[in-house]
């Protein structure tokens, strides 16, 4: 009878590795979760970014040029998330009492009507009003824009005569302060300053002047 060596008999145990698809599924689920978390986080940032808009200051008064600048800003520049600040600059009153109260009342009524006009055309935009008082209109506008941290300053511009233009060409920036409020603001504002003027009723469009461009014609 053959002899069997019992000590040589070893149990064979087969260990199976986990299915590949299970491992891949786990990795896919983990990466998917991370992707969703990143997507949600980036979405929050985008939402936060959308909520923050620019501050745009528009200098307003009773002139036609000012109204044209306001109309251009509302239709071409202002976005729904922006904050629009309507600035009115008045000279200090030499007479106090009732005369000063009457002036303040007229300014308040004017700004209220301008604000309603803006809300009628762009109801989704937040509108604020501000009043500055100074003898020099240009420096007052620049200072107010700096104080409020605006990103853009918009002003209406009058059509200058040929003689005035020749004088500006001859004198350069030396006459910028005396030459006009708009020129002073363009040269000295810490933010982007834009001067707006209508081309003409026949031709249409606007002439835009900035620190880098002069009378750029925008047909709109």
> Residue 23: its pLDDT value, please?
46
Residue keyed to tokens 């109204």: 67
> Residue 204: its pLDDT value, please?
73
> Six-digit token pair at 73?
């800003």
- Judged by DSSP in three states, 24 sits in helix
pTM here is 0.69
In the chain, which stretches have pLDDT less than 50?
1-2, 4-9, 11-13, 15, 17-18, 20-49, 173-178
Q: What is the pLDDT of residues 115-128, one digit of tens each?
A: 999 999 999 999 99
Q: What is the pLDDT of residues 79-99, one digit of tens each?
A: 999 999 999 999 887 766 666
**CA dihedral for 179, 180, 182, 187, sign (positive or negative):** positive
Q: What is the dihedral of CA 79, 80, 83, 86, to 10 degrees?
A: 70
Question: What class, spelled out in words, does domain 53-218 have in CATH?
Answer: alpha beta
45-54 in b/e form (b: 16+ CB < 10 A) is eeeeeeeebe
> Residue 97: its pLDDT value, please?
60
> Residue 202: its pLDDT value, please?
66
> Residue 126: its pLDDT value, please?
97
> Residue 13: its pLDDT value, please?
45
The domain spans of the chain are 18-52, 53-218
């Amino acid at each position: 009878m053959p002899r069997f060596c019992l000590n040589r008999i070893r149990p064979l145990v087969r260990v199976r590795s986990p299915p590949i698809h299970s491992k891949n599924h786990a990795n896919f689920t983990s990466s998917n979760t991370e992707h969703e978390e990143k997507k949600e986080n980036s979405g929050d940032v985008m939402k936060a970014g959308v909520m923050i808009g620019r501050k745009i200051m528009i200098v307003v008064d009773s002139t036609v040029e000012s109204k044209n600048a306001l109309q251009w800003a509302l239709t071409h520049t202002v976005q729904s998330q922006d904050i629009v600040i309507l600035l009115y600059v008045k000279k200090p009153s030499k007479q106090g009492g009732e005369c000063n109260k009457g002036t303040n009342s007229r300014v308040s009524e004017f700004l209220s009507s301008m604000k309603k006009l803006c809300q009628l055309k762009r109801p989704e935009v937040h509108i604020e009003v501000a009043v500055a008082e100074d003898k020099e209109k240009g420096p007052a506008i620049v200072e107010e824009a700096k104080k409020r941290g605006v990103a853009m300053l918009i002003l209406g511009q009058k059509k200058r005569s040929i003689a005035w233009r020749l004088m500006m060409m001859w004198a350069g920036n030396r006459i910028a302060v005396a030459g006009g409020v708009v020129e002073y603001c363009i040269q000295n504002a810490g933010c982007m300053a834009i001067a707006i003027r209508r081309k003409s009723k026949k031709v249409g469009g606007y002439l835009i002047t900035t620190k880098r461009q002069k009378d750029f014609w925008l047909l709109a």
